Structure 1
Amino acid sequence: MKKILLVWICFIYGLFFSCTQEIASDIFDRVERYMEICPDSALLLLNRIQHPEKLSGKQRADYALLLTQARDKNYLDSLQSDSLIKLAVDYYQDSDDKVRGGKALFYYGKVAVLHGDDEKAMQAYLDAQERLKGTKEYKLQAWIQEYIGRINDDQERYDMALDNYHKSIYYNKKADNTLGIVYAYRNIAWIYEVRQNSDSVNRYVEAGLSLLNGDSTSSIFPSLMQIKGVVESGKGNYLNAVSYFLAAIRCEKVVDSLPYYYMSLGDTYMKLGLFDKAEECFKNILSSKDILALSGAYNYFYLLEKEKMESGKSLYYKEISDSLLQIAQNETKRNKVLNVQKRNEIEKQQKEKDVLRQDSLIQLLGGIILLIFLFLLGLFFYIKMVKRIERNYRESLQKYTKQSRETIGANEQLISQYICQIEELKQKETLVLEASKEQIVRLEQEIQTLVEKNRLILENSYVDGLNVLRLLKEQLLIVENMTVIEKQQFLDYMDLLFDNFVTRLCTEYGLKESNLLLAAFIKLGFSSEELVILFDSELAAVRKRKQRLKGKLGLDNKVNLDVFLVCYPRKMSC
């Protein structure tokens, strides 16, 4: 009965598993049909697959490849994982399916670029190109050449990038992909713009526009307009440049590209002396999440304020621009360092695995040899023992009886000694227990004394800090005349009042003494006029101090410094 029940369970499980596999295969076929024309529908279909972790083999690899491709088509770069697409790469590495193998390597390269690892991306693209040789996947090969060209372009290997873009044109022509050709023309035009070859720039831009046949709704059209605007601005034809930049902004559908168009337009307005319009352009960039675009916008604000002879504001914008640029550079360096560390860690783990594998093999061989040796040695002694047993049985029995009696006598003596030792240890245990109790009482008295001392110290600190605060409130003491001890007493008092307010600021933001004092005064509700008296300075100087403190705390212009410090550190209660 149990066997029949087990057979039925296995049958039902196999039937369910085969149905799941068939459903997944049907979804994958539909996803591949929708991927190019309707990528959002393709992503929704993939999300309908329940328990994708139960997929195995080819279906698991297909799922990883299609999900990575769908996320890429829907601009969900933040969801991309190299571990996901690596499943497809590993599966198709030894497969005869060159198309899926090449496609997996291509998307593995794209994910590597998102993670800032250009070296890994370049290797993946080259492997993909090699895998696709002899196939008719011309559009995919065109993409690969374009992305290799982008990496070479970013690293200023312009001749190599031009070669890649021309190869992309070749494959796009074979695939009859007009839009891909236009993208390649656009990329080539940018390289010639860097080289200040305006004739070549215009030639490739016009070639791209002619292929579009005046279609301003195309995704490539705004960037072509921007290039024409940059060329016209370089020639001094600023009004023509403005018209091209406006056309680019009007036709662009990708929000992330707009900040750079506004930056070019604002720069041109500045050259025309239209500073108000330029300022409006740069304000449109401030909502962007692109750190480089924000840095450029604040740099232009710095130039605008410099033109208006507003030195204070110009320096403030310059500091923000430099800070954002530094953040972007540090982020780039950090990503490179993390990638290097990641590669080193992988290599280290691989070496450790090899060493462990070798050690395991050596241990296995050593164990086998040792077992053989022990077996032979045991066999030898066994044979020898059997021969001696028959001859020496009676002698051994007599010796054994004699030794047993001697052993029993020795053991009885030892038992007597052990009983004596146990009695001695019990007496010592009683003495040690009494001494331990006395020591515990003495230590408890010491603890009580130290607690009382700490309480007195805290009370004295509380009184001293309160006295300093009273002098400051009654304007009988200013910051410049405060001694080091008075400052410390005041700051300690603030910690007691507001849950380590000063210590947390110092730890989290690295504030110095002057900024800690200013933050404490604001926390206590000192007005700007009172701060003028406390710091023995002018109102403008106090405002500047507050602005610098705000920068140290990393607050943007929309955050009120006084409200932030009043709520800090109890943010949840505000």
Structure 2
Amino acid sequence: MRKRTIALIAILTALLAACTETTGYNTTLVQADSLMASHPDSALRMLQGIPAESLKTKADRAYHALLLTQARDKNYIVQTDDSLIRIAVRYYDSMRDNRMQARVYYLWGSVCRDKNRQTEAIEKYIRATDLAQKAGDEVLLGRIYANAGYIYYLQKFYAKADSIYRQAEQISIRLKDTSLQISSLAMQGNIQLYQKKYQQAEKKLLQAESLLKEVRQDAIKANVFSALGALYVRTGESTKALRYAKQNFKLQKDTLHCYRTFLELGDAYYQAGQYDSATIYIRKSLASSSYSTKEAAYMRLADIARAQGDISRSLNMEQLYSTYKDSANLSQQRTGIIETEQTIEMLHQQTLYESYLKEYRYYILCSILIGIGSIYLLRKRYLKKFHQQRQKALLKEKELRRQYLSVKEETKQKEEQIAALQQKIIQQYIDEVQKEQMQKELEKLNKQHIVLLKKVLEYSDVYNKMKKIISDCKEHGISKVTLTDDEWIRFMAEIEKTDILSKLAVEYKFSKNETRYCYLLFTDFSIKERMQILKIAHATLYRTEQRICKKMNVPYQANELQKLLKSIINSTLTDV
């Protein structure tokens, strides 16, 4: 027995192992992932040092591709080849792991961004957003919003970008992520700036600046100072513009290739009227590969030349400015982004429709199965309950019949005793004392007889049927139960044994309903209950009483008919 138990446990363990897929990643990869947020440079060195032959499983190779792409992105290394991240995308798509899929699509979007394929980047970011929301990963969702918002900002979709950065700000507050909050506020400030909403822009940027003491990243601080410098250039506050531009420049790691910073510093010097310094820094920015940077640089050089009175050089700079402006406009990918969003929305709606349709069919099928099951169970329960109730009713009916016959027999005996006693009283040879004693005994027997008659009535099928009619009327206002003629005859026989009422009915020619009403007067039923048993209205009941009194040649008095009939019966019995 013990061997069988051990064998069974072994088989179950094997089945569970076969049915449950677990992913045990390379420990070095897991360690590198844990360093990614705080020390991305260390994570990058660790990942680059992992030999390819040590990545023996598809899971490890996919995880390595994901982490290496992420480490390069965090170390600001421009990636123009997406073959590495595609390895991770293929694997995690096959695994259908929402959290990991969200990470790879986000990184794939970042690679597309570095390749200046902004349309593809937005497509990947939208996909990553859906997956991150399903996985409930707000940390990743905040990063996706920050990157997607920047692309919308560059493509001048300011309303869209502002909406995304506001969502990122809300996430940063929930997560208490100061870095993300500062970046979100700074970008909202930049968007307001380019829409010439200077007061709103300053409010957002100063709010971002007040949080800088809580972060150490120079890049984040530089972005805030850059935006404040640009704001004060626009508003003509040259002192502030120059101060923030210099602070931005000091925070640059690479002071030889920070072309956008050169342009912003040159702008600040121009605003301060220091044209020579402005010209030096602006010319340094011309080495940038960005059309928009060159466009702004030549525009500012044209302004400086005009301010210095060199019209020829100013015209030459304006011509170059127009050339790079056209190139910058051509490099915009607004149309592609709009089309991509429309396509994704259409696919999303189609997927949603198919999902709803599938879910709808599933619910219908479940509802049908549940309905069938419920009907079966209810029917089974009803039949069981019906059978039990029927058995109880049969037993009760049997017991009532037994009690009815017993009481009826006892009543018959009492009637015989009463008749014998009445006969003795009639005899003349007994003295007055004996007659008085017998009269008392007769009264006692009559009382017992009345009690027994009531018991007979309670055990009567007809009487119980009458109570059923009353109960139905009380619950539902009406009853479908009706007494047959035979049942009425049985009822009248059980109510009165002397036939006095039946003789009165014949003598005064009472109708069928009038006779039945007279017999009901000798029960404990109320006026309302009598109406329910006879199925007549209140007015009909009183008219019935009036007809009975008229036929008997007695004046009608409300509720006095019962007393009248009882007095007639009692006087008849006394005469007898």
| TM-score, normalization by structure 2 | 0.49
| TM-score, normalization by structure 1 | 0.49
